[in-house]
Amino acid sequence: MKKNFISLLMLLPGFLAFPQTSMLKFEPVSFSKVNITDNFWKPKMTLVATKTLNACIYQTETATPRIKNFINVAKNDGQKHQGIFFDDSDVYKAMEAMAYSLKNNPNPELEKKADEWIDIIAAAQQPDGYLNTYFTLEKNQKRWSDMDKHEDYCAGHMIEAAIAYYNTTGKRKFLDVAIRVANHIDSTFRLQNRHWISGHEEIEIALVKLYKNTGNKKYLDLADWYLQQRGHGYYSSNPATQDYYQDKLPLKEQTQITGHAVRAMYLYTGAADVGATKNDSAYMNAMQLVWEDVVHRNMYITGGIGSSGKNEGFTIDYDLPNEQAYCETCASVGMIFWNQRMNTLTGDAKYTDVLERSLYNGALSGLSLSGDRFFYGNPLASTGNHKRSEWFGCACCPSNISRLISSLGDYVYAKNETGIWVNLFVGSDTKILLGKNEIALKMETNYPIDGQVKILVNPSKTSIFKLHIRKPGWCSATAVPGGLYNFDATSLAPSVIKLSVNGKPVIATEEKGYFILDRTWKKGDVVEYSMSMEAKRVVARNEVQSDKGRVALQRGPLVYCVEGADNNGKALDFIFPGNAAIVEKPYSVVDEKVVALTADVPIFTISTDGLSARTIVSQITAIPYYSWCNRGSNQMQVWLPTRINDIKANY
């Protein structure tokens, strides 16, 4: 009876089992325990819960055959698969976003729709646990024969969705389907030691989550087994192919980022999860080296990654073109996943600095202000040939940005047995248990409009613990860890930071990018944290040829761009001299309230033969990058030329 009780306990919502020793410095506080009240993020979460998820549901059920494929599997009447072979994954990501949204915004109709989908999905599962509509409808005799056909990628997203839905609703049906799929994969591969490379990583992340939610170690071992398959030539002996699939070297020996950006992010997130849970420092050492290669040499100022559309990923160091930048929305979402893991493994705020950069710029740009238009790629310049789309044939990005924003609370707070970490400045409240003491926190802020933060601390009983508050990287003289981007000479002065408790200034110790308040806390304590938020010019390292002679503008965590919609239809006809005074002003992009940056600069009209130019001094307006292209296609640039010869330069 006791054994059965423990097994049941391990499957209760929110239960995390850690029989292994963990390397984690602290653990994130689950989004389900964080109530977002933020003026910036709460409206976006509501938008996702309504407009974005409605778009996902419409596209999944009506405009495309994604759900129909599952129905046809259950019918078993000879219907052929319609769409792309990995379309199942979009259904699962939408389901995961629905689960998170139901936790934040309970909606009986949305839950009814989710249950309807789960019934359809469960009916398509095969007797041995296999579940993939493409192979079941098209090539049932050839399943698990092509490493690049995304069978385990789809399975991974299904497992993540099932866990999210179970933890939100307590309903087991979808979770039971996921467990059967995981057991099928384990018996097919690990238990037989049948060599297999996942063509598109994701299953590794999902299996660690399944282990943590069930306590069954075989799922953790299977995730580790997947990681250890790489670097032995099981997929291909072609070096180019090995690079594309992150398969040239065993994972623990990798030091450089290669290949497809999204696949890489999911792989390294899974490696961090396995390394932390299995206390395997070799994974951690490799992840730190690969991270440095990404952030120091291969990341855009927006936190976007993947410069090439040809391979949807990486090329050579410092190859960061602007108009041709691929910067897939999903890759920025993956950067957020990976950097959160790196932060919890090391306790170093520099990883959250990168997470924040990707969140507010590279990822958020992928979602329109209306919530129903999307970017697949996120360029840093445009001559007017980029536009947002209602949907895509390969529709990974809409549901991915949906599940990210719906689970935003996962990234705000963290804790261990001695203290609490404030990682992101998002208006919210939560209750965190330290030992037997429940600590109620309430954060009030208008971030990223300004840098004023108030944290109300209310422990259930007076106690000593440490409150760690992140000092954002944008407050320092270096824009990005590693120096790929730096604030220029006019912007070198660090932001002014003030910290007080109960109205009295305090001097806090600083460690790994956090201010630490180690004190006796009592009910009613108030922490006030002020970061001056000046607009700053940013320059790139000389090795980045695309940004030579150019500057970018950043204010707080937000990167800015100049868009034609605010500048008489033009955004490529001016230079931004070093002495241009930047003025901040309240502004609206559609209905989005932002702080715009304005400056008086020389604007040029160049003759058709390129031999002469007419110059006038006029005001330009720059807006946050995430808000661009919400008023139709038009010109845009992030990196502003400082020399006339660069105006017509190719991006």
Which tens digit of pLDDT belongs to each residue from 563-583? 999 999 999 999 999 999 999
- Distance between terminal CA atoms of the chain? 68
Structural element, H or E, at residue 641: strand 640-641
pLDDT of residue 610: 60
Helix spans in 279-349 (H) = 281-297, 329-346
Residue with structure tokens 């110790």? 509
Q: List Cα–Cα distances, 174 to 70, 117, 212, 319, in angstroms.
A: 14, 10, 17, 43
pLDDT of residue 158: 98
Residue with structure tokens 């065993």? 250
The mean pLDDT value for 412-432 works out to 97
pLDDT of residue 22: 65
Q: Which residues of 99-118 are buried (b: 16+ CB within 10 A; e: fewer)?
A: bbbbbbeebeebbebbeebb
Distance CA 187, CA 458 (A): 50
The mean pLDDT value for 517-528 works out to 97
423, 343 Cβ separation under 8 angstroms: yes
User: Which tokens hold the place of 578?
Assistant: 């070093």
pLDDT of residue 14: 39
Tell whether the model's pLDDT for residue 523 goes beyond 80: yes
DSSP lists the bridge partners of residue 438 as 433
* Concatenated DSSP letters of 420-459: EEE-S---EEEEEEETTEEEEEEEEE-TTT--EEEEEEEE
Residue 128 DSSP SS3:
coil
pTM, to two decimals: 0.94
The pLDDT confidence band at residue 391, using thresholds 50, 70 and 90, is: confident
Distance CA 333, CA 360 (A): 11
Active-site annotation, residues: 312, 396
One-letter amino acid identity for 116?
Answer: E
Mean pLDDT score of the chain = 93
Q: What's the burial of 534, exposed, middle or buried (CB within 10 Å: 0-12/13-18/19+)?
A: middle
The mean pLDDT value for 134-153 works out to 94
Tell whether the model's pLDDT for residue 491 goes beyond 80: no
Could you count the other beta carbons within 10 Å of the beta carbon of residue 588? 11
Tell whether the model's pLDDT for residue 5 goes beyond 70: no
pLDDT of residue 611: 52
Rounded to the nearest 10 degrees, how much is the dihedral formed by the CA atoms of 40, 41, 43, 44? Answer: 120
Tell whether the model's pLDDT for residue 186 goes beyond 90: yes
Domain boundaries, the chain: 415-470+496-531, 543-646
Distance CA 209, CA 219 (A): 9
476-489: per-residue pLDDT in tens?
877 888 999 999 98
The mean pLDDT value for 445-470 works out to 97
Tell whether the model's pLDDT for residue 427 goes beyond 50: yes
Using alpha carbons, select from 255, 253, 479, 221 the residue that is nearest to residue 350. Answer: 479
The pLDDT confidence band at residue 493, using thresholds 50, 70 and 90, is: confident
pLDDT of residue 304: 97
Tell whether the model's pLDDT for residue 7 goes beyond 80: no
From the options 2.70.98.10, 2.60.40.1180, 3.30.460.20, 2.40.110.10, give the CATH code of 415-470+496-531: 2.60.40.1180
Distance CA 610, CA 362 (A): 35
Q: How far is CA 162 from the centre of its chain?
A: 20
Distance CA 598, CA 600 (A): 7
pLDDT of residue 1: 33
pLDDT of residue 615: 82
Tell whether the model's pLDDT for residue 306 goes beyond 80: yes
The pLDDT confidence band at residue 599, using thresholds 50, 70 and 90, is: very high
Tell whether the model's pLDDT for residue 359 goes beyond 50: yes
- E-strand stretches of 367-523: 381-383, 413-415, 419-422, 428-434, 437-445, 452-459, 463-470, 485-487, 497-501, 504-505, 509-511, 514-521
The mean pLDDT value for 201-229 works out to 97
* Concatenated DSSP letters of 250-287: -GGG--S--SBHHHHHHHHHHHHHHHHHHT-HHHHHHH
Using alpha carbons, select from 550, 560, 576 the residue that is nearest to residue 636. Answer: 560
pLDDT of residue 606: 63
